[in-house]
Amino acid sequence: MSKLLAEYLGTALLILLGDGVVANVALNKSKAQNAGWMVVATGWGWR
């Protein structure tokens, strides 16, 4: 695998998982609704 492809896939994975955390906190019928900024910051910082 080339370095360029690996960098692209790694960045895409981080954005996908980070946006999933934000969506989970923001969506009305999710289990983490209104969980707060600490959950979002932990989700982004976990990686």
Token pair listed for 41: 């910051």
* pLDDT at position 47: 59
Contact between residue 32 and residue 39 where contact means Cβ atoms under 8 Å apart:
yes
For the stretch 1-47, pLDDT in tens is 899 999 999 999 989 988 888 888 999 998 889 899 998 888 787 65
Number of domains in the chain: 1
* pLDDT at position 46: 67
Token pair listed for 11: 């960045």
14, 15, 30, 39, 41 from 36: Cα distances, Å: 20, 19, 13, 6, 9
Q: Which amino acid is present at 30?
A: S
- Kindly report the backbone phi and psi dihedral angles of residue 44, in degrees, each rounded to the nearest multiple of 5, phi listed first: -75, -35
For the entire predicted model, the pTM comes to 0.69
* pLDDT at position 1: 84
Q: Give the structural domain span for 22.
A: 3-45
